[in-house]
Amino acid sequence: MKKKLFKEKQQYQGKDLIVAIIVIMLLLTYQLIDSVFISHQQSWLNNILCLGVIIGLGWWIKSLFQRQQKNIVTDKKIICKVDSWYQDKKKIPLEDIESCAVVKTPVVAQWHGSNIEMPKEEMWSINGRNGLAIATKKGEQIFIGSSRAQEMAQAIKQALSI
């Protein structure tokens, strides 16, 4: 029977992006209201396009709020599951792990691209580049995002010593 040593569930945390999208939506809504009700402009194509962009941005915000990541460390493997507009799962047997390192990237560094994938690395994160960098014995490089990376690394070390 598998014993769970660590369990984490996280959601998308990019509040700055969500605020920027909401501001753009509000500006477009103001422009649409002004065009239709105040200045009575008859550019229907422009109004329909503006409404379409507002609806698209609203859908984008909804999809960001639906994004979730679940990380589980058992005494046999690491399971990382990402739920978004698609579902995907990664299982890493603990016996395949060669090394594991905690990666913490400051928020400022993430703004200039430090939260992107590294070459030849499989990235499993919805909140940037904070988590664990894992190297397997097969030569794979895997990054698993975690808001509690230190605890996750301790659980892996504990499982490897069992």
Is pTM beyond 0.85 here?
no
pLDDT computed for residue 1 by the predictor: 47
Dihedral Cα 156, 157, 159, 162, nearest 10 deg: 170
Whether residue 54 contacts residue 32, with contact meaning beta carbons closer than 8 Å, is answered with: yes
* Residue 144 C-alpha from the chain's centroid: 10
pLDDT computed for residue 125 by the predictor: 87
E strand or H helix at 97: strand 97-103
Of 88, 95, 85, whose CA–CA distance to 144 is shortest?
Answer: 88
Whether residue 50 contacts residue 28, with contact meaning beta carbons closer than 8 Å, is answered with: yes
pLDDT computed for residue 104 by the predictor: 86
Q: Return per-residue pLDDT of the chain as tens, 162 residues.
A: 478 889 999 988 888 889 999 999 999 999 999 988 888 777 888 899 999 999 999 999 998 888 899 999 998 999 999 987 778 899 999 999 999 999 888 767 666 655 566 678 888 888 878 899 999 999 999 999 998 999 999 999 888 885
CA–CA gap between residue 31 and residue 10 (Å, rounded) = 36
